[in-house]
Chain A
């Protein structure tokens, strides 16, 4: 029997960070390859899920366990139940926030592997400090406390702390496996002071974000993005802008603090302070550090290419393959220090099996490839280019994307280029958002926005990862290799972690790239399939023969017309030509004012506009409503929209029209809808009063009304389909399970694209007679008389 399995037989091994990339792989490997051990995972309970649920969902159900599940067959569940225990804990809380039972469980462990970390390079400083810096110390303290409580007198468990090789990267040449405190090159600030500073930075930044000027700015941005979407949505968005701003500031703070002290980023910086703090606070807990370099997808175990999450370097590869990143700074002969996750896992297990050093001094095992079998940056780029040339990604038109040849320029140059691009695109986007476009042109505008955010992301990658491609430290792994050499030959084969065995061409092209491309959910075949199918799926769900409530807005969703046009038509129907010209000229002159009022508040606009109907003969206008449909609105209607309403009805769905237009104007649409909610005017002695007796709902009120209809029909949110064209209908769209943006204006188009809502481009029919001005088409002179003006008070107020 191999020695590792023997050494760990009967041992209880606790693992923190088990829901992470490395942690999951470690738990799986222990359960599969070390049959005699038990595993305890420390998992933070989620908002809705308990630690046990998270363990099941996020660890055991991960495809990492597919192999074990296959190998064990029916015994899998039993095996998991008996050998895997979860305890609820949080490394950002004192004593990990453990309850009594879990404290006892932790106390019974022989080994604790601490792999919980914020691995994101761009985490906010305070978050990184809490997890990466204080985390290891808190784990050590918890171990000591539970040990004293539950198992005094027995040996303390062996703490294996997973760190990063980059704690040691701030200099050129060999970086040896020494304790952080022994490094000659690092200036170590006082970690307690750094913790204090980070916490203060959080509260200062938060306070700053609440300054009135800032809040105004966040609100302005929310408005620019959402338009007149209503108070509550704007408030949500404003608050999100604020929170994002605080966190962006803290990211920036972290990065600049780290760089100022010689680390590539806040991650490496907080990790190295974490090592230092742990060395200070561990007491007599036996301690070993394992420091991997950049951990990437697995070479062989549990299967080639296994990876979890979209990590470190992957966005860079994908951005490159998408043609987004044509240049990435770095020197071709520089080393990219990558190591497969199964090598790191094997190292940790071997370290666990070997136990702590007998002389009680903590030791360090680095696991990296740079010193033993370096992957040159130029080679990586070449392998990647080769592979993506053979297996290109496809753009939204189904055309293959040709990957560019990299130039290896300096970092500054690339950043400069990208910053200029971001600036240009931001300006273009702002301009485009001012344009009164909708439909397909608006989607073009939203593509500008997409380009901008892509360029921004690329810039971030360059800023973040640039340092890694330029690292000139060589991570020595002599102690790790000695450990490998000392293994039993069978163990050495099973738990291989010697980087010399890596064939980079094989690893990059056959293992790593196919795996991340699969993970990135990008288009890997020609044709419009991937994206179109998403829209098709949505449309299929919308038009499923199951109960649905389909709610339609009117203007620009069903009909390219508005209340002003209808008014102009009605007002000119019974008057002579000169009067007609006057009405139209006056409306045209007022147009900008009307438009801006409409944009500010739909309800106010309608109230003030409908005053014009004061004194108009109600019966005649009701009769004219039918003619208005045939003479104007039907010409402006979108046949596809009408077909869609009818389709819903055919499927037995309930259809509702919610509009600010007047009831007698939309009356001809009655046969299409189960319910119509429209404005109606008060009436006195057969004349309209000009005041609305039923004000049409706008903004959030529409969403509420829609929900009421749904609940009357016994339908849930998931069964509501909402069709609208503008951000003022956002509350309604958000409240529907199946929102559809119809001929969206630019802002809504951008939002719809981001959320994956289907977008319909419905057009007027070609062949409709021209009616450039909305005046009644009746020939003048035939019926003109001056008694028939729409209202004696129709002059402009």
Chain B
């Protein structure tokens, strides 16, 4: 039986309550009759022999790229960059795709006799990965072969010695990227394309860039002109990265792009009910839901967080393509849409979403209030093609406990951003013009980014800019079940229950509003006509 496509359910009296993610937990909510619930398509079948598929992709590349083997020669400098801890979500069960792909690349390199090989985790301004995380992504073998000799590196966007300025695009955008990557004879970039935003020229132009370069597309103006940033052809974020990608290519950097897509098989056996549609829950799903939600009620949030972050997703690879950046990425998007796209008829007044425990920036950490806003209004709101799921002036209702809590190691500048910036204003342009530079150049944050495991000082600003499109589009944002003070600090309205939230929303959108619930994760992308 082939997997069923995505589905839009219309709620009626016989519909069971709908599952909302709520941080490290869930809520069952009864949506008003007539509401729509969008479900992701069922997982596509995995590639039968992923390693063979990878070898095939390397041997028959797309575009005008030659097969990898022919690009390699003894004595050359080979650099392999790979996506960092932010992908995929949740982290996948071993072996990780990066391990499979890089092992295949290294095998060929070894056969050819390449011995100057360096691996780079493409952090951009993300935190460094721990040894354990690197081991998980790359496997014990690669880690042990490279790490002890200093050949497994992590991109350091604040190391002037290891950055190179490649010039400016025709729009005056600086392109400054990792020196080793830029000066290698071949740069292989290994992607995990979890959502449509990932990959393409963004891999190198963002993942291996410095603040000087990133600020040209990670800003309020770009985000306001990216509708959405998940839709490459309507995204200024991507246009800018493509311009930079072209410049990088013209500068002589030889990029061999490898992209992979995953199916929507997101949760392991004990959380299988999360994969299923509520009216199809059988006794085991119901028991699983009851057991986990009862257990979570009694579990301190800190322990619950540990449990959730220990989830390893059974994601399976559905496609792998390699070669020239443009054609590779086009194929990737086709494969990704095949898995994630759900046609949706028109916008609604209210968009509801349950915010889960994880986003790209808090793996093995906590969702602080800024990340809650970013996942809801940045990522989930933008999971559309065509038009947003909610009409202009509509209301977004998110469900998350939004605790006033931060990981002091990973998110030190977030703490100060929340205490010192958001307490003064939530206005995007004011924040950008008045505060960004100071945080971005703060020596203490730079020090922590480079030597500890901290996101860069400017990172919380980017998370806030990520919400720009949503903030300019909707009339009100309501958070159900959140810490009231934290929610207000974000400039949102707290509500204790969904029905309260719906009533508050009526003040903005009028009586009998239309409601759409985004039932994710598993991830999907709405194709709104």
Contacts and interface: CB of A to CB of B under 8 A. Distances in A.
Interface of A: 626, 629-631, 634-635, 637, 639, 642-643, 646, 668, 671-672, 764-770, 778-779, 782
A766 B444 contact: no
Contacts of B409: 630-631, 634-635, 768
Given A639-B412, A770-B302, A671 B443 contact: yes
Contacts of A646: 442, 444
Size category of the B interface is 20 to 34
B430 interface: no
B453 interface: yes
Interface in B293-329: 302, 306
Contacts of A766: 403-406
A634 B419 contact: no
Nearest to A636: B408
B416 A643 contact: yes
A626 B452 contact: yes
Contacts of B443: 671
B444 A765 contact: no
B368 interface: yes
Interface string B183-205: 00000000000000000000000
Contact of A637 (B365, B408, B416, B420): B408
A629 B451 CA distance: 10
B116 to A, nearest CB: 26
B345 interface: no
A635 B408 contact: yes
Contacts of A768: 407-409
B452 A765 contact: no
Interface string B398-428: 0000011111110010011001100000000
Given A630-B409, A646-B444, A779 B453 contact: no
Q: Which of B408, B409, B420 has the most CB of A within 10 A?
A: B408
Contact of A765 (B302, B407, B447, B451): B407
Given A671-B443, A765-B415, A782-B132, A639 B452 contact: no
A634 B409 CA distance: 6
Contacts of B444: 642, 646, 671-672
Contacts of A769: 302, 306, 365, 407
B302 A639 contact: no
B302 A779 contact: no
Contact of B405 (A672, A767, A779, A782): A767
B366 interface: yes
A765 B405 contact: yes
Main secondary structure of the interface of A (DSSP, over half): helix
Given A765-B406, A770-B302, A626 B368 contact: no
5 contacts: A631-B409, A639-B408, A671-B443, A768-B409, A769-B302
B407 A630 contact: no
A629 B444 CA distance: 14
Interface of B: 132, 302, 306, 365-366, 368, 403-409, 412, 415-416, 419-420, 442-444, 447, 451-453
Nearest to A646: B444
Contacts of A639: 406, 408, 412, 415-416, 419
**What are the 9 tightest A-B residue pairs by CB atom distance, in nearest-first order?**
A767-B405, A766-B405, A767-B366, A630-B452, A765-B408, A671-B447, A634-B409, A639-B415, A767-B406
Nearest to A630: B452
Nearest to A765: B408
Given A629-B452, A630-B409, A635-B408, A767 B416 contact: no
Contacts of A770: 302
Given A634-B408, A639-B415, A643-B419, A767 B368 contact: yes
A630 B453 contact: yes
Given A634-B452, A671-B447, A768-B407, A779 B132 contact: yes
A671 B404 CA distance: 27
A634 B447 CA distance: 13
A668 B451 CA distance: 8
Nearest to B300: A770
Contacts of A637: 408
Contact of B452 (A668, A778, A782): A668
Contacts of B365: 769
A642 B447 CA distance: 14
Contacts of B415: 639, 643, 765
A657 B135 CA distance: 37
Nearest to A627: B452
Nearest to A770: B302
A646 B441 CA distance: 13
Contacts of B407: 765, 767-769
A646 B419 CA distance: 14
Nearest to A637: B408
A767 B453 CA distance: 15
A467 B442 CA distance: 68
Contacts of B416: 639, 643
Q: Which of the listed residues B403, B404, B406, B451 has the most CB atoms from chain A within 10 Å of its own CB? A: B451
A485 to B, nearest CB: 72
B48 to A, nearest CB: 33
Contacts of A778: 132
B139 to A, nearest CB: 14
A654 to B, nearest CB: 16
A782 B143 CA distance: 13
A779 B365 CA distance: 17
Contacts of A626: 451-452
Nearest to B132: A779
Nearest to B447: A671
B482 to A, nearest CB: 14
A765 B451 CA distance: 20
A543 to B, nearest CB: 13
A671 B444 CA distance: 6
Q: Which of B306, B366, B409, B451 has the most CB of A within 10 A?
A: B409
A672 B132 CA distance: 29
